[in-house]
Structure 1
Amino acid sequence: MSKTGQGTPAQSALADREIVISRVIDAPRELVFEAFTEVRHLSRWWGPEGFTTTTRSFEFRVGGEWDFVMHGPDRTDYQEWITWTEIVPPERIALLHGESRGDLNAFESVLTFAPDGAATRIEMRTVFPTKELRDEAVEKYHAIEGGQQTLSNLAAYVSEIVRKGAEG
């Protein structure tokens, strides 16, 4: 007897807790990856439209942490914390993201960087601890739009680097 549907129960449960955003960026994979690895780059593009970022500490290595504040356009400050759980240059970065170390509501994200001709396809796959936390991120914090805007900011930033490099 064959069974059709949404896949295994584990896949269905994961889908309820997951957000996946991707974008093709017109820049080499190594450059797009580098934009995630150095705080001098991150501070120039990280976050949705109208947000700025202030870094308190940054150490890009497995087990290292990025402690920062995102400043919203309405002047609200958002305490943020990331620890890197896997780094495979220039292919993959996995991280845990919350408000602070020990945040029980922290979510996991995996970013993959794949060549797409001369461009790079970046995929950001985020899994929340519960469906309710995912839904809250989507509805209250506009996580999907914010993620799309963040990748758009990244694309604009690395395109500017490429353009300046072409000018010599």
Structure 2
Amino acid sequence: MNPTDDRSDHRTHVIPATPAEVFAAIRDPDRIARWWGPEGFTSTIHTFEFHPGGRWLLTMNGPDGKDYPNESRFTRIETDRLFEIEHLNGHHFVLTLELRPHAAGTEAVWRQTFDTPAHYARIADFVAAANQQNLERLAAEVARVTSAQADRASSTG
């Protein structure tokens, strides 16, 4: 058993695209604003310093009309392979998104680890649903761009 399993939400989602195509939707602040957050949320990016140690400030705009300021720090970035942040305000956690080549495209491996099992247990149901929605929204954003690219290629070919 991984020593963080009792305080982490872990899930995977296969996206029919290359790791580079998936990573492109992560590294671009305009694209990440389209998919970041649970269903019904939008994100306004204020600062996006996409390098280890860089700041990421955003406001998640909820479907209830409330705004949720977020502050994170990029801790690890490996092009086309890994994205990791430490969320600094509100709920403290480390979120790692690993991209693994898969026969059907890319397996996105999402792990959100909280400081204590008690903290995680209090919000586990919400976190599980929200993280699944995040992965589905990421897949939709990747599909949106790859479909548009394919349409452009077929119209010029």
TM-score (norm 2): 0.91
Question: What amino acid maps onto 1:151 in structure 2?
Answer: L
Runs (5+) with no aligned partner, structure 1:
1-6
Query: Identical aligned pairs, as a percentage?
Result: 32
Give the count of matched residue pairs: 152
> Cα offset for 1:117?
2.4
- Residue equivalent to 1:4: none
What do the CA deviations read for 1:61-120 (whole angstroms, capped 9, x no partner)? 000011011011111211111111111111112210132xxx6x5111211101112511
Runs (5+) with no aligned partner, structure 2:
153-157
1:72 aligns with 2:62: yes
Contact 2:9 2:111 in 1 (8 A): yes
Which has the larger Rg? 1
> Cα offset for 1:163?
0.8
Measured in 1, the distance between the counterparts of 2:86 and 2:142 equals 24
> Cα offset for 1:58?
1.0
Measured in 1, the distance between the counterparts of 2:116 and 2:82 equals 24
Contact 1:28 1:118 in 2 (8 A): no
- Residue equivalent to 1:150: 134
> Cα offset for 1:59?
0.6
1:25 aligns with 2:15: yes
TM-score (norm 1): 0.85
- Residue 114 of structure 2, aligned match among 128, 131, 140: 128
- Residue equivalent to 1:167: 151
- Residue 37 of structure 2, aligned match among 23, 47, 55: 47
Cα RMSD of the aligned pairs, angstroms, is 1.4
Contact 1:51 1:73 in 2 (8 A): yes
Measured in 1, the distance between the counterparts of 2:122 and 2:133 equals 18
